[in-house]
Amino acid sequence: MTEPTSTQGNSPDLAPFATPDVLRIANASGFYGDRFDALREMLTGGPLDIVTGDYLAELTMLILGRDRQKNPASGYAKTFLRQLEEGLGLAHERGVKIVANAGGLNPAGLAAAVTELAARVGVPVRVAHVEGDDLLTPGHTWGEGVLTANAYLGGAGIAECLRAGADVVVTGRVTDAALVTGPAAAHFGWDMKDLDALAGAVVAGHVLECGTQATGGNYSFFGAHDVRRPGFPLAELHADGTAVITKHPGTGGVVDIGTVTAQLLYETGGARYAGPDVTARLDTVRLTQDGPDRVRIAGVRGEAPPPTLKVGLNRIGGWRNEIVFVLTGLDIDAKARLVREQVEDAFARADRAPAYIRWELARTDRADADTEETASALLRLVVRDSDPDAVGRAVSAAAVELALGSYPGFHVTAPPGKGAPYGVFEAAYVDAAEVPHAAVLPDGTRVPAPTPVRTRPLEPVPPPPLPELLPAGPTRRAPIGLVAGARSGDKGGDANVGVWVRTDEAWRWLAHQLTVDLFRQLLPETADLPVTRDILPNLRALNFTVHGLLGEGVAAQARFDPQAKALGEWLRSRHADIPEALL
């Protein structure tokens, strides 16, 4: 990657793009199950140097862990292989290198499968992989029932593979941004001392990692744009770490400061965004519109990374079952109370009641409704236990036996089942020096990845000064979302909500108005939980972290919205006193 490619096929509109000063990196997958034809779209839609794919998430690692239990030769994202059946030839014709974390729990197995596929389809490519993240090995004790234990690696191993001439690099659990920092370091010749440049690449990688979330997908202000089929994003990276986020010409969606801000806030915490290569200071990020569908990222400062690496642990937490009772028409609360008392009485008479019982009544009904569905509310029962019988036969019997002896109109959304295992995610931390991060080059040579020159313990950034308060004036009670956008997500058992506004005047209101106390009032679920507020003035944004909202993580499904994807939209729908000048 140190030299520009000399050819990318015969098509003049796909001429070589890479120069010593610019590298064009695209994303073609934001999760395992993303748009299947995105790889082809990105390879044929315009010039590229690198195309990346992010296939891993906390829940994905659990799914792959269960796959590996059944078949030790599995453990990687099979979709990636099917995409390569066509994409590999296209990439080779155009001189585009492919970097993906689809290796999951078995990057060596996926690398071998890619090599076999290349031989079968007649495409001469050099395949390398990165390993060392899997810590489910002797010498590490993670506790009972742990299926996966994977350290989040940086981009140094990817860079070594590309420097050795790899055309395809597959990894296991690396940070999402590592798919960009690795290629950028290889191309520009950065080393572990180039902290600002690496931090810029981390920010660009974070914007790209979730695919079309950067181009109008899941965007609060979607109504102003055509987002029926948003194109996937790409970044034009420069040697100093600055970048321009854009997309292929003619594709759907939009790239503007709002879409990029939304993705920057997604699943982040404080102003220090820590990673294995560098800690990026999100409070230094500056965004400017660089033309239609072009947003420039500049000013990013980097600090030495922490001395530890995060390790994601997944284990089977027990068994789970769910029944949703439909309550129609009048006396909804009384009907809910009756069936709840009946079910809990049945549990009391059973040999063993489930260890965890949770009821939620969703008042989806409305008065004088003109359809039966809109006249109905949903009462959701969730049970969990270490014994499958406690959530299976006992729960099914308790519900079924009420069919003719409970509230009028009794029915459920689906027949009760026997329950299913659920997962639990935990984060642990290990000394980075204990993790054998290595690149396995195309010729099979195993090379240790470079390590940071120095480290720095992670500390919160002191709150910056707030902007001048907006002058007093008339206000109106209205939804916050008329002024502010939001994006929310999960990190293990925690949830984050990033909130931003589009004007300096709105920022002068938001920074003072949306305090932790008001946040808790607007979202009563958070009232008894620790909530942290971080201030990012350059982005006109606040980022709230709600600790413990998601219990034991997405796989435990402890909450109606287990990944907190809509938590921000709930916040936007809540009413506050907003200055009329902003409305």
What is the DSSP code string of 282-295? GGG-EEEE-STT-E
**3 in a structural domain:** no
Task: Kindly state whether residues 179 and 264 are assigned to the same domain.
Answer: yes
Q: Would you say 223 and 208 are in contact if contact means Cβ atoms under 8 Å apart?
A: no
**486 in a structural domain:** yes
Spatial strand order of the sheet with 301-303 comes to 272-273, 279-281, 301-303
**177 in a structural domain:** yes
**457 in a structural domain:** no
Among 392, 413, 448, the domain-final residue is 448
Q: Would you say 260 and 50 are in contact if contact means Cβ atoms under 8 Å apart?
A: no
Instruction: List the one residue out of 277, 578, 309, 307 whose CA is nearest residue 449.
Output: 277
Q: Would you say 162 and 91 are in contact if contact means Cβ atoms under 8 Å apart?
A: no
Rounded to an integer, what distance in angstroms lies between the CA atom of residue 481 and that of residue 486? 8
Task: Kindly state whether residues 210 and 123 are assigned to the same domain.
Answer: yes
> What type of residue sits at position 169?
V
Domain of residue 366, CATH code: 3.30.70
Rounded to an integer, what distance in angstroms lies between the CA atom of residue 217 and that of residue 135? 35
Give the pLDDT of residue 195: 98
Give the pLDDT of residue 303: 98
Residues of the chain with pLDDT under 50: 1-17
Task: Kindly state whether residues 360 and 414 are assigned to the same domain.
Answer: yes
* Consecutive H or E run containing 289: strand 286-289
What are 196's two structure tokens? 């600002």
What are 483's two structure tokens? 């002024």
Rounded to an integer, what distance in angstroms lies between the CA atom of residue 162 and that of residue 187? 9
Q: Would you say 246 and 125 are in contact if contact means Cβ atoms under 8 Å apart?
A: no
What is the domain extent for residue 176?
A: 12-307+431-448
User: Which residues neighbour 47 within 8 Å (Cβ) at sequence distance 6 or greater?
Assistant: 8, 13, 14, 15, 16, 17, 24, 94
**458 in a structural domain:** no
Beta partners for residue 177, in sequence order: none
Task: Kindly state whether residues 44 and 168 are assigned to the same domain.
Answer: yes
Q: State phi, psi for 420 to the nearest 5 degrees.
A: -150, 155
In 446-505 the beta strands, taken as DSSP E runs, fall at 446-448, 475-479, 484-491, 494-501
Give the pLDDT of residue 8: 34
Q: What domain count does the chain have?
A: 3
Distance of CA 77 to the CA centre of its chain: 17
Give the pLDDT of residue 15: 36
Q: Would you say 111 and 140 are in contact if contact means Cβ atoms under 8 Å apart?
A: no
Gyration radius of the chain over CA positions: 25
Other CB atoms within a 10 A radius of the CB of residue 402 amount to 18
Give the pLDDT of residue 144: 83
Phi and psi based region of residue 189 (left: phi greater than 0; alpha: psi -120 to 50; beta: remaining): left
Q: Would you say 278 and 272 are in contact if contact means Cβ atoms under 8 Å apart?
A: no
The pTM for the full model equals 0.92
Task: Kindly state whether residues 405 and 480 are assigned to the same domain.
Answer: no
**Average pLDDT, rounded, for the chain:** 93
DSSP state of 166: -
**519 in a structural domain:** yes
Task: Kindly state whether residues 479 and 376 are assigned to the same domain.
Answer: no
Terminal alpha carbon distance of the chain: 51
Task: Kindly state whether residues 131 and 262 are assigned to the same domain.
Answer: yes
Task: Kindly state whether residues 164 and 269 are assigned to the same domain.
Answer: yes
Distance of CA 25 to the CA centre of its chain: 19
**143 in a structural domain:** yes
**70 in a structural domain:** yes
| DSSP string across 507-560 | HHHHHHH--HHHHHHHSGGGTTS-EEEEEEGGGTEEEEEETTTTTT-GGG--SS
Give the pLDDT of residue 20: 74
Helix and strand numbers (H, E) in the chain are 14, 26
Task: Kindly state whether residues 155 and 244 are assigned to the same domain.
Answer: yes
| pLDDT digits 0-9 by tens, 266-290 | 999 899 999 999 999 999 999 999 9
* Consecutive H or E run containing 147: strand 146-151
Task: Kindly state whether residues 87 and 36 are assigned to the same domain.
Answer: yes
Give the pLDDT of residue 18: 56
Give the pLDDT of residue 14: 36
Q: Would you say 346 and 436 are in contact if contact means Cβ atoms under 8 Å apart?
A: no
What are 127's two structure tokens? 């395949």
DSSP state of 1: -
- The CA-based diameter of the chain, rounded to the nearest angstrom, is 77
Instruction: List the one residue out of 381, 390, 281, 394 whose CA is nearest residue 336.
Output: 381
Other CB atoms within a 10 A radius of the CB of residue 273 amount to 23
Rounded to an integer, what distance in angstroms lies between the CA atom of residue 191 and that of residue 181? 11
Beta partners for residue 382, in sequence order: 322, 358
Task: Kindly state whether residues 123 and 94 are assigned to the same domain.
Answer: yes
| pLDDT digits 0-9 by tens, 538-554 | 999 999 999 999 988 87
Task: Kindly state whether residues 44 and 119 are assigned to the same domain.
Answer: yes
Go through 245-262 and write b for each residue having 16 or more CB atoms within 10 A of its CB, e for each that does not.
Answer: bbbbeebbbbbbbbbbbb
